[in-house]
Amino acid sequence: MIKRILLFLLLVILVLAAVLIFNTLNFKSKQLSVAALPAPEMPTSALQHFKDAIKYQTISDGDSSHLDSAQFFGFHKFLEHTYPRVHSTLAHESVAKYSLLYKWEGTNPALPPIILMAHQDVVPIEEETKKMWSVDPFEGVVKDDFIWGRGTTDDKINLISIMEAAEKLLGEKYQPERTLYFAFGHDEEMGGTGAQAIAALLQTRGIKADLVLDEGGIITKDKVPGMTKPVALIGTSEKGYLSLELEVEKSGGHSSMPESETSIDILAKALVNLRKEPFHPEFSESTMEFMEHIGPELPFLQKLVFANPWLFKSIIIGIYSRTGSGNAIIRTTAVPTIFKAGVKDNVIPTVAKVTVNFRLLPGDKGEVIIAEVKDRIHDDRVKIAPTRSFIAEASPVTPGDSFAYKKVDEAIKQTFPNTITSPFLMIGGTDSRYFGEVSSGIIKFSPMVDPIGFHGIDERVSLDSYQSAMWFFEQLMRNTR
């Protein structure tokens, strides 16, 4: 009897091994075979233009009434005199006062257009971090083969590279086959009302684009475990955004005679309960496609794991859960970002508030998450309400076999030699989330290699990245068939 059980087990193991190996051997590469084209030398004028662009303090500090209109209008003037061909050939207009929309008429009006996006605004420099910068963040410093400054990586590299490419092509009398739009929002870092207005305007004009390309995933040399080649992470969907305010009101008083529980205690307990367990993990469509694109390029054992997610799902989730960035790809996240209570050391505050920021995984609707939050906290004394009247749900997915994905994939292969490309779920939000009615082919990708200091100190991007970014947009504009 035991012998028969053992034999049966052996058979199961053999069949399982055969299935795993079969799937692994049939796990074929999805990489486009497109030859890379060597990028030309960077003209010194292009470098000067990027440096100049950094000098405009087009800051979004979270309060639209603080917007410094002189900086934005100055930036527009700078664009006008730096890119004269663009401004004399392309139709251009301001939208929502500070956002910019350009239209480069294509030779074939029957083809749906392509929209290239970037945003003009940058995040502020936190007062406490000013001293920590090794350069003046708004000077446009070039040193150690990097361009330094606020906005270099986010997002002026894209805006300036698009302009450089267009100006160059216009100099060659090039005309795209499809109509190209450039859409440059002015307040991406605080909600993106500019991009929203542009999207609404294009909608009223009946524009349906085949591709909308906005900032997003980057090219990374070491962030994908097991990969020896650089990987271009092409955002094909983005997570949703929701902030909740949790508030507790309980009469305070003198700190010399405290009750057993104060507003701060209740709120702290609510936070602990909310964060005790992570939200349920799931592979979104973009993540599934990521595994299908990356998997075949990995060494055999890792390839075997990605070729058989039906068996190894829990192992993959375990690995992803270990880091903040990995965890964010497989589940909705929640983190307290603002905590407010108390004014004086001997007064128990009556009101305690915390803002919790959620990033919603595709499939996790905001309302469902709010219900789960209430359930987890399970305390009626804690009032829970969204900080804004709307919830930005996760975006729809642009498939890896769509025109939009393929166009971007092709341009990456042309401009970044030896790079593996892959769909990917964007963790952060972008202006392109407003373009769902304008296009079903929305891609979030920034053509730069491992930028540094994104939203932080000593933000910078390499000269090579800038050179490739211009080259990337040039190829994309040439491939407009």
- Of the pair 122, 438, the CB lying nearest Zn ion is at 122
Nearest approach, Cβ of 158 to Zn ion (angstroms)?
Answer: 9
Q: Identify which of residues 279 and 466 has a Cβ nearer to Zn ion in the complex.
A: 466
CB of 469 to Zn ion, least distance (A): 14
Among candidate residues 154, 188, 364, 393, the one labeled active-site is 188
Q: Tell the smallest beta-carbon distance from residue 15 to Zn ion (Å).
A: 50
148 strand-pairing partners:
141, 460
Contact residues for Zn ion (CB under 5 A)?
154-155, 215
The answer to whether 437 is a known catalytic residue is no
Instruction: Name the residue nearer to Zn ion (CB basis): 121 or 247.
Output: 121
Smallest separation (angstroms) from Zn ion to the CB of 118: 8
Question: What is the C-alpha to C-alpha distance for residues 38 and 49, in angstroms, rounded to an integer?
Answer: 22
In angstroms, give the least distance from the CB of 328 to Zn ion: 17
Shortest distance in whole angstroms from residue 83 CB to Zn ion: 21
* Integer Cα distance of 26 and 36 in angstroms: 27
Q: What are phi and psi of 284, to 5 degrees?
A: -75, 170
Rounded-to-integer distance, Cα 262 and Cα 277, Å = 24
Q: What's the 3-state SS for the chain?
A: CHHHHHHHHHHHHHHHHHHHHHHHHCCCCCCCCCCCCCCCCCCHHHHHHHHHHHHCCCECCCCHHHCCHHHHHHHHHHHHHHCHHHHHHCEEEEECCCEEEEEECCCCCCCCCEEEEEECCECCCCHHHHHHCCCCCCCCEEECCEEECCCHHHHHHHHHHHHHHHHHHHHCCCCCCCCEEEEEECCHHHCCHHHHHHHHHHHHCCCCECEEEEEEEEEECCCCCCCCCCEEEEEEEECEEEEEEEEEECCCEECCCCCCCCHHHHHHHHHHHHHCCCCCCCCCHHHHHHHHHHHHHCCHHHHHHHHCHHHHHHHHHHHHHCCHHHHHHHCCEEEEEEEEECCCCCEECCEEEEEEEEEECCCCCHHHHHHHHHHHHCCCCEEEEECCCCCECCCCCCCCCCHHHHHHHHHHHHHCCCCEEEEEEECCCCHHHHHCCCECCEEEEEEEECCECCCCCCCEEEHHHHHHHHHHHHHHHHCCC
Determine whether 188 is an active site residue: yes
Nearer to Zn ion, 151 or 362 (CB): 151
Measured between alpha carbons, how far is 140 from 278 in angstroms, rounded to an integer?
A: 42
> Given the complex with Zn ion, which of 155 and 285 has the nearer CB atom?
155
CB of 189 to Zn ion, least distance (A): 7
Least Å from the CB of residue 455 to Zn ion? 9
Q: How many of the other CB atoms lie within 10 Å of CB of 261?
A: 12
Tell me which of 121, 154, 167, 187 is the catalytic residue. Answer: 121
CB 267 within 8 A of CB 342: no
Of the two residues 414 and 446, which places its CB atom closer to Zn ion in the complex? 446
To Zn ion, the closest distance from the beta carbon of 479 in angstroms equals 24
Name the residue nearer to Zn ion (CB basis): 215 or 289. Answer: 215
User: Cβ distance 140 to 52 under 8 Å?
Assistant: yes
Kindly list the catalytic residues. 121, 188
